[in-house]
């Protein structure tokens, strides 16, 4: 399968699309911190809900070969899950800074790329343990984005699509994606909902669910600022938009936060910005991967 590459229009209500986008990726953590850094605005609106509820049951955890974990979700069909590129290829954490190095995917001939192309997906939470789930199943990457951490356009490629060894979506269902286009307004205007396994809720039963809103666009087309709470372990969380008919459809995947803090912030602002990758940036890659099924095989994607 060919690497997915986007060509962006120049318009944005922030900075130019090619500008460097300084932020902190909120990758999954191995050791739970005593005081979790997150960007929360106004008040913490998250609530723990049953994993048996519609939408919630299709969201789980994913753990890569290096032990880093994030959130992932069944999407589009019974055999496909998505998370962030930076979760799939998290390589090592600097013990002093907490910054996690992300390995660059180099294609099927690179041994380390092949190793990190495998992960374990956990679904159907049993209790309050971080990995206490009913089912765990192996997964192989079938598509990756054109991810580049320090480039705005490259940030829109922060996604990885897996094919499960066993199609557990038959048991847990899967989320549907809204049809989106790059030449339409990137920021959704209706209410959003994020379903997440963040680090501060890792020892609580159920899954964290929060209703929130889109706030701004840019600096590259396909990046949308949102006021959902982002914290470690929540990378790869699905963000859904409520449609006029009441249906909830996936419109984005949680990717990054800027200047995370342990304090609750008074309001959303550019200095503490949480960002999702809008579905317009990855829906074509998802549809192609689903159509190819087990024949899908990612190649090394072009860099922006």
The pLDDT tens digits for 268-278 are 888 888 899 99
Q: How confident is the model at residue 46 (pLDDT cuts 50, 70, 90)?
A: very high
pLDDT of residue 301: 67
Say whether pLDDT at 187 is over 70.
no
From 283, 270, 253, select the one nearest 219 (Cα to Cα): 270
What's CA 21's distance to the chain center, in Å? 18
Share of the chain above pLDDT 90, in %: 55
State the alpha helices, DSSP H only, in 34-130: 85-88, 111-116
Say whether pLDDT at 13 is over 60.
no
pLDDT of residue 9: 31
246-269 core/surface letters (b: 16 or more CB in 10 A; e: else): eebbbbbbbbbbbebeeeebeebe
Q: How confident is the model at residue 203 (pLDDT cuts 50, 70, 90)?
A: confident
Q: How confident is the model at residue 119 (pLDDT cuts 50, 70, 90)?
A: very high
Task: Please tell us whether the domain made up of 24-295 is placed in CATH 3.40.50.720.
Answer: no
Say whether pLDDT at 31 is over 70.
no
Cα separation of 47 and 49, whole Å? 6
What's CA 205's distance to the chain center, in Å? 21
pTM of structure:
0.86
Residue ranges of domains in the chain: 24-295
Share of the chain above pLDDT 70, in %: 83
pLDDT digits (tens, 9 = 90+) for 52-72: 999 999 999 999 999 999 999
Tokens 């912030």 locate to 265
What are the backbone dihedrals phi and psi of residue 201, each rounded to the nearest 5 degrees, phi first? -110, 10
Cα separation of 153 and 149, whole Å? 9
Helices (H) and strands (E) in the chain, counts: 5, 19
């Amino acid at each position: 399968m060919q690497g997915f590459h986007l060509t962006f229009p120049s318009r944005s209500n922030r900075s130019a699309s090619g500008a460097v986008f300084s932020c902190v990726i909120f990758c999954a953590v191995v050791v739970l911190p005593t005081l979790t850094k997150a960007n929360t605005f106004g008040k913490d609106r998250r609530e723990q809900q049953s994993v048996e509820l519609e939408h919630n049951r299709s969201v789980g955890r994913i753990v890569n070969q290096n032990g880093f974990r994030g959130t992932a979700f069944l999407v589009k069909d019974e055999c496909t899950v998505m998370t962030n590129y930076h979760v799939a290829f998290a390589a090592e954490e600097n013990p002093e800074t907490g910054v996690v190095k992300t390995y660059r995917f180099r294609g099927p001939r690179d041994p380390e790329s092949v190793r990190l192309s495998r992960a374990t997906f956990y679904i159907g939470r049993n209790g309050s343990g971080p990995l206490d789930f009913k089912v765990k199943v192996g997964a192989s990457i079938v598509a990756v984005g054109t991810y580049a951490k320090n480039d705005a356009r490259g940030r829109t490629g922060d996604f990885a699509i897996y094919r499960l060894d066993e199609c557990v979506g038959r048991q847990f269902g899967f989320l549907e994606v809204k049809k989106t286009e790059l030449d339409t307004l990137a920021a959704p205007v209706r209410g959003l909902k994020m379903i997440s396994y963040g680090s501060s809720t890792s020892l609580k039963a159920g899954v964290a669910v929060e209703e929130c809103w889109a706030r701004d666009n840019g600096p590259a087309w396909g990046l949308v600022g949102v006021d959902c709470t982002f914290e470690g372990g929540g990378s790869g969380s699905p963000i859904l938009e409520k449609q006029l008919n009441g249906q909830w459809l996936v419109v984005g995947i949680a990717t990054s936060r800027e200047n995370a803090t342990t304090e609750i912030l008074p309001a959303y602002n550019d200095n503490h910005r949480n960002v999702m990758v809008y579905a317009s940036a990855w829906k074509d890659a998802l549809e192609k991967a689903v159509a190819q099924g087990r024949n899908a095989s990612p190649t090394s994607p072009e860099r922006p």
